Each structure stands twice: as C-alpha cells, then as structure tokens.
Structure 1
C-alpha cells in the first residue's frame, strides 16, 4: 500500500464508522469490513492483487531488522516482531472471545510451540526483558502463519454476524475469559475495562482494523529507519576506507 492507498483506507474506515450501527446496511458493513481487513493482512488472505499493508512491512525484511530491540523510533522502541505478534494476539482474543465467545486460534494448532514462545497474553505493559526474549526467539514464519490463521477466522466471524449484532454490548462473562485464559495480564486490567464498555461495533472499529493499521504503519517506519541507519553505516565505512 502506498500513501494514497493508505489515505483511501482511512476514508473507508471513517465510512465504516458512520454506517456500522445502521442495521439496514448490514451487508454493506460486512463487505466494507472484509475489504478493509484484507488490506491489513497478507494478500494471500484476501486473494487480492493489490499489495497490502502487511506485504509492505514484509517486503525485503531481514531477520536482523525484524528482531531488533529496542529500536530508535520516537513513537515506539519495540521490535517489528513484537508489533506483529501483539496485533495478532489482540485480534485473536477480541474477535474469538469478545465477539464470538469461541476458542482462540492460538489454541487450535499448538501455535505457542510453533512460534517458540510462551507468551499468551496481549503484550500490553510487557516487561522489557520479556519483549527482548520474544523478539529474539519468535519464529518469523510461524508468527506470520498464526497471524494469517487469525485473519481468516476473523473474516468468518464477521461474515456470520446477523443484522443488529453490531449494536450488542460485550458480555462480562467474556471479559472474565480474558483473565481465565491469561489473554490479559492482571496488571493490565485497564485494557479489559476499556473493552467491557464497547459494543461489537467498537471492537471491530479498533482491535480488528484501526489498531492493526496503526501498528503496521509503525513497523514500516521502524524498517525504514533501520534501513537508513544501515545504509549510512555502509557509506561511512566506505568513506573511511577511502581516506
């Protein structure tokens, strides 16, 4: 996605926000969500020709850049690995616990073992040592496969909703599940409280779309910054060699 396509994504998100509670426009809402959501995952998810925001993140992304922590960006010091894992976890728990009251994708195929990590929570308020461990250990290919599985499940969940469900409040028993399944850490109760005040529409407009968009853009800025630093280092070394 280039800058013009990202601008269009923002415009469509604004439109989605305007119509999402209009029961009579349920079909249009679902289709617009599916389109917006597909642009936040690998192009293989939506089977579209258009380059997605995840495609842009992964283009020429090497392991060093993927794992570097901390990073020198003003809006985040967390690694690209952490950001991709975080948005996958948030999407998984909100869509499959809060919206669908079903099993998280995380526990459908030994994903923790495949990703080579032990962190099942959202990543909010995560200690620096744990972020460093996750960044260095997580298997990139398995993380991307997990995120793809989460994305496919999200599209199934939203496609199965019936007119009027977007107005439904998140049930408290589902909020409780977040803690029962260690999806949200006890010292991050603020996150569960924030979600507990939302309708299904509110969950869709942030965790399932806007939240992902913001973090993927951070990933692109991280990659660009680190690539510029690497290029500058190479040039500086060449200049020294010429002296």
Structure 2
C-alpha cells in the first residue's frame, strides 16, 4: 500500500475522532481523495481502450488481479451506493445521470460477484470516457456530503430497514461474493463508512491500478526503441512507470497528453517527413515545435540530446544517459543539459569521451 497515502489516512482518522479537529480531518480527507483521483484521471485519459480490460496479474491474489475498468467501476459503485442510498437516503448518481446506459454496463451492482474472465468480459463492454465522468461526479458529490456531515452524526448507525432498502435496490448482488456487503456496511456507523469506502477502499484499489498500469507499460515497451522522437530517453524519464513511450499506444508523455490523439507535434512532424526522429532533421537547431517550444523549460535539453544522437547515434546516447543517471536524477540531468543546447551537447560529449 502507498505509504504516503496510508500515513495521511492514519492522520485523517485521528483528526476525525475528536470534535475539535473533525473539520480538519474532513478537509484533509477531501484533499487526499483529490490527490488519489488524479491517478485515475491520468489513467483514464492516457491509455488505449485495450488497457482497460487487460489482466496482467490474472492469477494473482489481490486487487491487482482485476482490470483498470473494473477497479474504477467497483470503487465508485460502492461509494455511490453507500453515500446516497445508505447515508443521504437519496438517488444515486448512476440513476440521476443515467450512467448505466452511458457506460454500457450490463449490471448496476458493485461487481463483487464477477470472477476471473468475467471481469475482463465485463470491462470490455464499458465506455471508459463515460465511466470516468461517472466516477468524477460520484467523487464530487461525496466530497459535498462529507463537508455537510457534522461530528455529531459520526456515531449514527443503521437499521434493519436500511438493510432492506439496500437489498431491494438491486445494487448488491445476491451472490455469496457480494451479499455480505450489506451487513458489512450496515454494521458500521458513519465514521466507520468514512474510514473504509471513502478512504481506505480508494487507497487499496488505486494502488492496485498503479500496479496494473506499471505492468502494462512495461509490457508495451518490450522490444520498443527507448529513444523518443524528440530525442529524450524513455529509459530514464521520470514518467517511466506511467508511459509506454511515444512509440506505443501507452503514450502519456507531457506533450502527447495535450492532444486528443496522443501524438505530439514532434511525432507528427517526424511521421510527415518519414524520419525516425528529430535527430534526423536538418532543421533541428531552429525547431520550435512540440518539445522544442521556446517557453518549454526542457527545450534546450531535448535539442542537445537530439543533436548528440545525430552525431554519435542512439547506442552512445543511451550509454551516456546511464552514466549521467548514476549521479543525477532525471530533473537534475535535464537541468544540467538545459542551460543552452550547445553547452548541453558539450556535457554529453564530455561524458562520452571519459
């Protein structure tokens, strides 16, 4: 489990336990939820459709044995049910927004009843854009609910009639892998529900999603040229765990994500000129496209690296990057190379010659 999230969650639970610090706890919880949701945003907006129904850990024990799509569905169906049907006693977001139809889900349940290949087949049917919009709306509605809850309500429990309402809603499958959820939720008070579905449950499943996407990116990059079109080394980039590189469909490079087709101007230009990368272009030193946009902090560094590749080749470039990254992290390396593209080239050449 992500240690930073876990420690922040522990702090939140301590704050929620006392009336004097309760509001601080709610504010910190909403902050944590927004931070974690950013992970979902990057995944939902960055990866190809195929990524959302792949199961790279299909036979493993743990939440990472699921799919990205199932994980998003599961997190927010549970939250929608608990926040609205159980606590607020109003309509769920999935009903108000007619999201089941928009998402294309064959079920309205939490998905606990689905196993193995059923999860992959279910995930294939989902419209990821609509699923993401649903998740975002549920998250925001719960944040509003949390802000409105008072400390005096924390010990409020639930009755048999609440259990009946949940059962009658049809949102929890009667399968043995799912029906226990009703007793589990109703045996807690509101503070207990805040502790699990609204916080810890997120941490466990989003951490699992990170493991899934890391594996998918690693698999996508196998045998793929690790040098980006602009001349940066994907082997050394800070986005290495998120990005499959601009030469795969798992392209979440900072410039690629600005465009709907995930193709940055450097990539498009190279394709139009039928060249392998910017390092093969005679206009490199004067280029202002994509990564080389003058107001981009990394433009001089990228051009220096592309110039080195043009002069010495990719194999030499990757060896030099290995040497630099033994001493510096990605940010520091780019800072050193980025003062001026010609000075950056000299630094790379000095590393190459020693």
CA drift of 1:73 comes to 6.7
Equivalent-residue separation in structure 2 for 1:91 and 1:171 (angstroms): 19
Relative to the length of structure 1, the TM-score reads: 0.82
CA drift of 1:56 comes to 4.5
Question: Do 1:21 and 1:167's aligned partners in 2 also have CA atoms closer than 8 Å?
Answer: no
CA drift of 1:234 comes to 4.7
- Relative to its length, the structure with more helix (as a share) is 1
1:29 maps onto 2:25 in alignment = yes
Equivalent-residue separation in structure 1 for 2:33 and 2:46 (angstroms): 23
Alignment of structure 1 residues 69-80 onto 2, 5 Å: 69=55, 71-72=57-58, 74=60, 75=62, 76-80=64-68
SS of the aligned residue for 1:113 comes to helix
Equivalent-residue separation in structure 2 for 1:59 and 1:106 (angstroms): 21
Equivalent-residue separation in structure 2 for 1:233 and 1:175 (angstroms): 53
SS of the aligned residue for 2:97 comes to coil
User: Which portions of structure 1, spanning 4 or more consecutive aligned residues, are displaced by more than 3 angstroms?
Assistant: 55-60, 69-73, 127-130
Relative to the length of structure 2, the TM-score reads: 0.58
Q: Report the equivalent of 2:210.
A: 220
Alignment of structure 1 residues 19-98 onto 2, 5 Å: 19-41=15-37, 52-58=38-44, 60-69=46-55, 71-72=57-58, 74=60, 75=62, 76-98=64-86
Count how many residue pairs are aligned between Structure 1 and Structure 2: 221
Equivalent-residue separation in structure 1 for 2:58 and 2:40 (angstroms): 21
Gaps of 5+ in 1: 42-51, 236-243
What is the Cα-based RMSD across aligned positions, in Å? Answer: 2.2
Equivalent-residue separation in structure 1 for 2:180 and 2:92 (angstroms): 21
Question: Do 1:106 and 1:112's aligned partners in 2 also have CA atoms closer than 8 Å?
Answer: yes
Q: Report the equivalent of 1:116.
A: 104
Higher relative contact order (CA 8 A, sep 6+): 1
- CA deviations on 1:160-180 (whole Å, 9 max, x unpaired) are 112311121133322222211
Aligned match for 2:4, one of 1, 8, 13:
8
Equivalent-residue separation in structure 1 for 2:18 and 2:170 (angstroms): 34
Structure 1 residues 105 and 221 mapped into 2: Cα distance closer, same or farther (>3 Å)? same
Equivalent-residue separation in structure 1 for 2:161 and 2:49 (angstroms): 40
CA drift of 1:63 comes to 1.3
SS of the aligned residue for 1:215 comes to helix
CA drift of 1:104 comes to 0.8
Q: Report the equivalent of 2:319.
A: none
Q: Report the equivalent of 1:179.
A: 167
| Structure whose alpha-carbon radius of gyration is higher | 2
Q: Report the equivalent of 2:183.
A: 193
Equivalent-residue separation in structure 2 for 1:183 and 1:84 (angstroms): 16
Equivalent-residue separation in structure 1 for 2:44 and 2:164 (angstroms): 35
